[in-house]
Structure 1
Amino acid sequence: MFRTALRTVLAHKARLLMTVLAVMLGVAFVSGTLVFTNTVSEAFQKSSAKGFDQVDVAIQPKTRKSTGDTLGKKPELTQPLLDKAAEVQGADSAIGVVGGFTAIADKDGKLIGGGFRTQGGNYWGTKDIRYPLVSGHAPKGAGQVLIDSKTAERAGYKVGDTVRISIDGPVLKPEITGIFTTDDGNVAAGGSLALFDTATAQRLFGKTGVYDEIDVKAAPGTSQVALRDALDKALPKDVASTITGEKLADDQAAQITDATSSLRTSLLVFAGIALFVGTFIIANTFTMLVAQRTKELALLRAVGASRRQVTRSVLIEAFVVGAVAAVTGLLAGIGVGAGLRALLGSFGDSVPDGPLVISPSTVLAAFAVGIVITMLAAYLPARRAAKIPPVAAMSSVHAKATTKSLVVRNTIGSLFAAAGIATVLYATTLNSTDGQAPMGLGAVLLIIGVFVLTPLLSRPLIAAAAPLLRVFGIAGKLARQNSVRNPRRTAATASALMIGLTLITGLTVMAGSLQIAIDKMAASSIKADYVVTMANGNPLSPDVDRKLRSADGVTTTSALRFASSRIDGETEYVMGVNGATFTDLTDLTVDSGSMKIGGAQIVVDEDTAKSRDWHTGSRLTASFEAGHKQQLTVAGIYRSTAMMRGIILDNATLSAHASHPSDLQVMVKMSDGATASAKSALEKALGDNPAIQVQDKKDISNGISQSVTLMLNILYGLLAMAVIVAVLGVINTLAMSVFERSQEIGMLRAIGLDRGGIKRMVRLESLVISLFGGVLGIGLGVFFGWAAGRLVGTQISTYQLVLPWGRMAVFLLLAGLVGVLAALWPARRAARLNMLTAIKSQ
């Protein structure tokens, strides 16, 4: 039986090749995803571990235990604390570290290292072994800076050049006094690092006299744990906490693993979809092969082979096919992993140098997926073949599906579909967080239900195409009859295409609706012409607002400033604005009172007011970060929007209680509105700063939608794999149909149907099956898009369902094109059949 199975595999090379391709695509995606994520994770982990080589123990500010502890004076690492740490027994040296976001512009004024956080910090001097100097000398004062060697190489900088740098808004133009090397993970991954002398760094980063961290190097013979214990005894417990360098490296490695695991999960989901679709093709292929060998298997049964041996013979074929697909898929997956790494770099996100990581688990996963999926898909055809009585098989009497089996199938499908619809509808009544799991479960149940019901749905839906097929004469009539002759096989083929189009349509509906919602959100709450922010989302310096107020053409500005406060025992975040100009820059609906903001008068959004039982005229006491208290009065209650919500008070009031005030954004109104010259004037007033972006309403909308569009395009690319697999399925189904109807095709040729008519018949059959799958997929996609939109609507008030009729029409046309292309080879094969040989074939 083993030799028989091997001969059978080699006897049907063309059809088995399509099965190998279907399985190989899924295996390649799975193994490529594992190679890519393992490579990225290990590269970052090794890079981060190098960054902690010179840190035996790190001293950090004590972490607050509760939300209420965020108010009042925060623990600080001061110079006396550093001196004390350096004198602890077992300590060789101690370095104070301070840093933050630092944008470096290249010679064309563009931001360097935009893919990762671009950082700045302090240089401790010639004893700072963290950053060995390659050339030049240490910086002194605000007019000098060091930059890392990779940044210098990329931008073409050298010692003595002037570089444009921004910390939180204003542009600095220090001289490059030196270039250093570093193992810092961000730099290795495409970021940049600028170093100032310690006093300058503390001043620029708003941390005068204090440090973010103190790194202590152990003396020879002292372990990290022993040094940590000694520091714990010597340092005040309410101010500082300690952690070993090994623990820091392990924690960062864990964070990197967590970050890559989410990416891995997302990619594996789409690999699973491709495999799920491929399962239909494998089952169809083996059904076709078994059908071709019905008499052969019956003869084996007649000469003594048992049902188990027949089943085992087919499963051995599946094992061989799966093993070949696993090997080729693994090799292709290694290429996919390398390609994804290069693709990441093309988006501006570099990865630290390192080899591709092909772990044993990746190899095992590839073989498990390839072999197990193939054998599972082949089991039912094998079992069905073994059940056919030898006499019936040799007489070409094939068992048809009984009425009872169809009733059972339709009942099960209806129950699954009903349960799926009910679960999805229930999920739409929940919020976006609680509704995700029920929504996913309902989608799976509904897709399974529709798949099971597809044979039942195929007859009426395909019958609806009869008037169009009549135009093609007898070929069209035969195509319609052939497409419903074996509804189970037709349904399995259409379902493969249906799943891909369901996901593509659902994503498109969501993306189009989100774009409209984003446009409305950007325009509904602000009247300002421009919004100025940091490119990386960091706070702006208050100097930015002052510079904008004096810029040409500016009539009104308001900085948006956030701070933490404690009101009636609960923590509340408040937003500071320019109370005198706020109503000129925003468009908010007031439910009661007025938008009069200034002094002790505040306005509150309706949700906050309702939850705290506040109303116009309510008085409350707020405690701020610096420990100060302020009596406030609610002047009005407004309706919140996606961009404006919470407690709003005047910046003058808020700034009096903030230790280091900073702005998240500045709204600007121009005398001539939003024009190209107005935007240029604002950028020039800010020194053409690469770290600051000046956006009008359209820019804000485009900025948000770009990420949506990019993600959508990536998902389209991933789902294209499922569609490719579905194409192979259509080819297999048509090839099976041609084989089963060889005698019939021969008779049609004999009574006058020419080769062109045969080709037309097969192509129309393929077109009908593909369009049937396309209609089901688009219908389900619209339903899922609507349901998912209901969840999104709980977070974005401007969201509303928008159906992309144009794109859906394109998807349906593409489904038809899939059918036409998939029919090329089977139609040609059917037309070339010798009519006499075909008539005698059965």
Structure 2
Amino acid sequence: MLRTALRNVLANKARLVMTVLAVCLGVAFVCGTLVFAESSAAAYRAAASKDFAGIAVTVTPKYAPPGAGEEAPGALDDALVGKLAEVPGVAAARPAADGSATLNGADGRPLRAGRAWSNLAAAYLPGEDGNDSRHPLVEGRAPRGGGELAVDSGTAAAGGFEIGDMVTLATDGPVLKKRLVGIVKTEDSRVTAGGTLAVFDKATAQALYASPGRYTSIDVSAEPGTDEVELAGRISALLPADRAEAVTGAAQATQQATYTDTLTRGHQKMPMLFAGVSLFIGSFLIVNTFTMVVSRRTREIALLRAIGASRRQVVRCVLWEAVLLGLVASAAGFALGLGIASVLPGLLSTPQDALPDGPLVIGPLPVVAALGVGVGITVLAAWLPSRKAAKVAPIEALRTSEQPPTATASRVRGVVGLLLLLAGGGLLVSLTGAKDASEENLQNAMSGCALLVVAMIVLAPLLAVPVIRLTGRLTGRFGITGHLARENALRDPRRTAATASALIVSTALVAGLAVIGNSTGQALDRQAAAGLGADYVIGSRGGMTAIDPGTEKRVAGTPGVKTAAGIADSTVFTGGGVRRIAGIDPAAVGDVMRLDFVSGSLKDLGPGRIALSATVAREQGVSAGGQVKARIGRNQEFTRYTVVGVYEDNPTAGEVLGSRADVRRDGFLPDSVQRILVRTDGAAVSKTTEDGLRAAAGNSPLVQVKDRQALVDEAAGSLADLLTLMYGLLAIGTVISLLGIVNTLAMSVADRTREIGVLRAVGMDRAGIRRMIRLESVTVAAFGTLLGLTGGLFGAWAVGSLTNGAMKEYSLALPWGTLLLVCLVSLTTGVLAAAVPARRAASLSPLEAVAER
């Protein structure tokens, strides 16, 4: 039976090549993603190891917990550096004063400000030779005073800096201006992957990031043969246990590699999702191909049964064919996956987020995955056709045509499909009253959508007849070729439905995502400015940075500004959860924030009093006049706060509103504000006003100035990943559908050789034959597209209810342009898929075709 299987694969290799390609795509995405993940992880580990090369132990300060009172002075000073240098096994002790600094480029715009974690700053600390080995100079000289700095060569190129330029930067709060006197080189992976580096003289760095005479860390290198762990133990014995600790260099390298790997782990999710969808859709092509192959070999299988082959042997024969096919697809997919892995870093890297360079790392997991996925999916998809093959009785050898399904089989299919449809549809409809997107509701939505897709696939053969007869009225306008195309599509509804399955699934996915994405995008547009009465929002780029305290007064004095209200943002712990609290001045906030109160008001807001959003109030079970226990920011003690009002959920206000005095006192950044809401005279928005506000903020790279439209555009930009996913799924579905239709039509042409010969003999020309095959292909594509659109739109309507419960502004909005694109792509797929089969059919000689046996 193994020899028989091998012979069958070789005999049908032209027909099975489409199946190989479909499986190959899925395997390629899986293997490519796994190789990319291993290679990028190895590159990060190598980069991190390079960062900590030569460092055996690092001594870092311990900080008192927030709210623990005044911190003791840092223990890391020159005296400690000297002591560490004398510890047995220590080769050298090198102090550092490191921190973070964000720069403006030469054009005045913030430079790589979206990556605060990799915008580094350090002190230039020369060794005995007068040079800093960690920051070797490339050009110019080292900074010598508080008004000078150096940057790395990558930062200089990105910012357009030259020696002698004045550079604007900020560490936290006030804007600083320093003259660029040198350009250095660095191999820190955080900088080379798209960050920046600013280097100050020792005294300036200490004042900015530690305190005068103190350091932020001390790096210790070991003598050859010294064990890092033992050395760390000796050093720890010298340190004040409450103010400093020792960490090995290996532990730091591992920690940094893990951190940077976590930041980019999302890059792996989308390719793996494409792999899953590709394999899911491709499985329909495999089932269809093996079903058609088994149907064509009915007499052959019957003869095998007649000469003694058992049902089990027939099943094994078909499954062996699937194994051989899967092995070929796995090998091809693995090779293609290596190509995908090699181009992914370039596709996923941006100037702000560059992935590290490194060789491809091919571990055992991608190889095992290629075989498991390629062979496993193919064998599973071929199992049903193999069972069908085993049921072929020897008497079937006397029949010349395939028997249609019995009425009982059709009724069973209809009942099963209807039950699945009712279960999936009922589950989705039950979500229309959902008030939030809870985990349970999301699971029900996913289950409902899965049942709906399965129901459409099960019912597709039964729906094919009425739907194709309906669409056949359009193809009928092409005359006899249109009528023949319709009848050919209806000849075997099961084959037609199986061929259209890939389009059904991909169209349903894309249509559903398109509708949800468009509706959510419009809701985000409306929500971005909802509750905002201000015309501009001035905000810090990160929650751990603050706006210069003097900025609020300067903004208020800017020409054209009517009101400037500073908002102190922090976190509040209440009811077992962490919320965002905005500290406001009730007297000024009315001009810049639109609040719709369900109960109470801001009139009594003050120290010890807060207002809650409707969602938080519902979760806490309180209303205006009630009390909640909470603690703000770094305050370690819970306090009872009186609830003075409950307002409708508002993205500008956040979850909790409190007294600005309370938040500024207890927040993680005391006596600071993180946002300034600005109302202009006559709601004027202009470049002049914006430039004036930026100037009032000192052109700080840590501060953003956005008008209402900029907020809306920023919210819309969050859908970029969803759009990429949507069009990627459309491309995958189109490619696999194209392969499936080509496969089906090719086999259909082979089955109808004599029929085509008769048509040619009675007068149909080659153009008519080609037109008939194309119209049949378009009919199948139109059927799959129509069924997929119906399922996708219904699913989007039902699932959208979850968003509607969580986002008040959400409403169903159909993206007509995208839906039209889906239809055009699907129909174009039908036309392209028919090209080769149509040409082959038209090239048949009438006499030879009629003589075909």
Question: What is the TM-score of this pair, normalised by structure 2?
Answer: 0.88
Q: Which residue is 2:69 aligned to?
A: 73
Q: How does 1:533-544 map to 2 (within 5 A)?
A: 533-535=539-541, 539-542=545-548, 543-544=550-551
Q: How does 1:300-319 map to 2 (within 5 A)?
A: 310-319=314-323
Q: Which residue is 1:186 aligned to?
A: 190
1:87 aligns with 2:87: no
- CA–CA distance in structure 2, aligned partners of residues 827 and 169 of structure 1: 71
* Match for residue 591 of structure 1 among 580, 594, 598: 598
1:221–1:372 CA distance, 2 compared to 1 (3 A): closer
Q: Which residue is 1:516 aligned to?
A: 522
- Asked whether the 8 Å contact 1:558–1:666 carries over to 2, the reply is yes
- Asked whether the 8 Å contact 2:101–2:198 carries over to 1, the reply is yes
- CA–CA distance in structure 1, aligned partners of residues 63 and 750 of structure 2: 73
User: Which secondary structure does the structure 1 equivalent of 2:587 belong to?
Assistant: coil
Q: Which residue is 2:510 aligned to?
A: 504
- Asked whether the 8 Å contact 2:148–2:178 carries over to 1, the reply is yes
**Shift in Å at residue 464 of structure 1?**
2.6
User: Which secondary structure does the structure 2 equivalent of 1:739 belong to?
Assistant: helix
Q: How does 1:190-339 map to 2 (within 5 A)?
A: 190-201=194-205, 203-204=207-208, 215-217=219-221, 222-230=226-234, 232-233=236-237, 235=239, 237=241, 239-240=243-244, 242-299=246-303, 310-339=314-343
Q: How does 1:372-391 map to 2 (within 5 A)?
A: 372-391=376-395
1:838 aligns with 2:849: yes
- CA–CA distance in structure 1, aligned partners of residues 532 and 210 of structure 2: 31
Q: Which residue is 2:20 aligned to?
A: 20
- CA–CA distance in structure 1, aligned partners of residues 563 and 189 of structure 2: 43
Q: Which residue is 2:723 aligned to?
A: 712
**Shift in Å at residue 212 of structure 1?**
5.6
For residues 234-272 of structure 1, what are the alpha-carbon distances to aligned partners after superposition, in whole Å with 9 as ceiling and x for unaligned? 555555555433223223333445555554344222212
User: Which secondary structure does the structure 2 equivalent of 1:500 belong to?
Assistant: helix
- Asked whether the 8 Å contact 2:284–2:502 carries over to 1, the reply is yes
- CA–CA distance in structure 2, aligned partners of residues 282 and 620 of structure 1: 60
* Match for residue 478 of structure 1 among 478, 484, 489: 484
User: Which secondary structure does the structure 2 equivalent of 1:29 belong to?
Assistant: helix
**Shift in Å at residue 707 of structure 1?**
2.8
- Asked whether the 8 Å contact 2:312–2:390 carries over to 1, the reply is yes
Gaps of 5+ in 2: none
Q: Which residue is 1:400 aligned to?
A: 404
1:802 aligns with 2:806: no
Q: How does 1:43-192 map to 2 (within 5 A)?
A: 43-59=43-59, 70-73=66-69, 78-79=74-75, 83=79, 87=83, 89=87, 99-113=98-112, 116-117=115-116, 118-123=118-123, 125-127=125-127, 129-134=133-138, 136-155=140-159, 157=161, 159-168=163-172, 170-192=174-196
- CA–CA distance in structure 1, aligned partners of residues 102 and 747 of structure 2: 63
786-795 or 506-515: bigger deviation: 786-795
1:34–1:125 CA distance, 2 compared to 1 (3 A): same
User: Which secondary structure does the structure 2 equivalent of 1:800 belong to?
Assistant: coil
- CA–CA distance in structure 1, aligned partners of residues 633 and 370 of structure 2: 57
- Asked whether the 8 Å contact 1:616–1:637 carries over to 2, the reply is no
Count of aligned pairs? 838
1:362 aligns with 2:382: no
- Asked whether the 8 Å contact 1:111–1:690 carries over to 2, the reply is yes
User: Which secondary structure does the structure 1 equivalent of 2:514 belong to?
Assistant: helix
Q: Which residue is 1:651 aligned to?
A: 660
User: Which secondary structure does the structure 1 equivalent of 2:736 belong to?
Assistant: helix
User: Which secondary structure does the structure 2 equivalent of 1:435 belong to?
Assistant: helix
Question: What is the TM-score of this pair, normalised by structure 1?
Answer: 0.89
- CA–CA distance in structure 1, aligned partners of residues 418 and 22 of structure 2: 30
181-190 or 369-378: bigger deviation: 369-378
Q: CA RMSD in A?
A: 3.7
Q: Name the aligned partner's letter for residue 494 of structure 1.
A: A
- Asked whether the 8 Å contact 1:145–1:177 carries over to 2, the reply is yes
Q: Which residue is 1:761 aligned to?
A: 772
Q: Which residue is 1:749 aligned to?
A: 760
User: Which secondary structure does the structure 2 equivalent of 1:362 belong to?
Assistant: helix
* Match for residue 695 of structure 1 among 700, 703, 706: 706
**Shift in Å at residue 59 of structure 1?**
4.8
114-123 or 28-37: bigger deviation: 114-123
- Asked whether the 8 Å contact 2:298–2:396 carries over to 1, the reply is no
- Asked whether the 8 Å contact 1:558–1:667 carries over to 2, the reply is yes
1:457 aligns with 2:467: no
User: Which secondary structure does the structure 2 equivalent of 1:484 belong to?
Assistant: helix
1:540–1:149 CA distance, 2 compared to 1 (3 A): same
User: Which secondary structure does the structure 2 equivalent of 1:477 belong to?
Assistant: helix
For residues 491-537 of structure 1, what are the alpha-carbon distances to aligned partners after superposition, in whole Å with 9 as ceiling and x for unaligned? 11211111111111121112111111112112321111111234566
- CA–CA distance in structure 1, aligned partners of residues 636 and 447 of structure 2: 49
Q: Which residue is 1:667 aligned to?
A: 677
- Asked whether the 8 Å contact 1:115–1:190 carries over to 2, the reply is no
- Asked whether the 8 Å contact 1:498–1:776 carries over to 2, the reply is yes
- CA–CA distance in structure 2, aligned partners of residues 804 and 552 of structure 1: 43
For residues 30-76 of structure 1, what are the alpha-carbon distances to aligned partners after superposition, in whole Å with 9 as ceiling and x for unaligned? 22222222222221121122223354344556689xxxx75443866
**Shift in Å at residue 155 of structure 1?**
4.6
- CA–CA distance in structure 2, aligned partners of residues 77 and 394 of structure 1: 98
Q: Name the aligned partner's letter for residue 36 of structure 2.
A: F
Q: Which residue is 2:581 aligned to?
A: 574
**Shift in Å at residue 777 of structure 1?**
1.4
1:560 aligns with 2:564: no
User: Which secondary structure does the structure 2 equivalent of 1:441 belong to?
Assistant: helix
Q: Which residue is 1:735 aligned to?
A: 746
- CA–CA distance in structure 2, aligned partners of residues 806 and 512 of structure 1: 11
Q: Which residue is 2:31 aligned to?
A: 31
User: Which secondary structure does the structure 2 equivalent of 1:765 belong to?
Assistant: helix
* Match for residue 439 of structure 1 among 438, 445, 456: 445
For residues 403-439 of structure 1, what are the alpha-carbon distances to aligned partners after superposition, in whole Å with 9 as ceiling and x for unaligned? 3333333333334333333444566646334433333
**Shift in Å at residue 314 of structure 1?**
4.2
User: Which secondary structure does the structure 2 equivalent of 1:126 belong to?
Assistant: coil
**Shift in Å at residue 354 of structure 1?**
1.2
For residues 370-412 of structure 1, what are the alpha-carbon distances to aligned partners after superposition, in whole Å with 9 as ceiling and x for unaligned? 3333333334434433542344235424343233333333333
Q: Which residue is 1:778 aligned to?
A: 789
- CA–CA distance in structure 2, aligned partners of residues 63 and 407 of structure 1: 73
**Shift in Å at residue 166 of structure 1?**
3.0
Q: Which residue is 1:493 aligned to?
A: 499
- Asked whether the 8 Å contact 2:124–2:143 carries over to 1, the reply is no
Q: Name the aligned partner's letter for residue 184 of structure 1.
A: D
1:565–1:374 CA distance, 2 compared to 1 (3 A): closer
Q: Name the aligned partner's letter for residue 107 of structure 2.
A: D
Q: Name the aligned partner's letter for residue 335 of structure 2.
A: L
For residues 737-774 of structure 1, what are the alpha-carbon distances to aligned partners after superposition, in whole Å with 9 as ceiling and x for unaligned? 22223333333334444444433332222222212211
Gaps of 5+ in 1: none
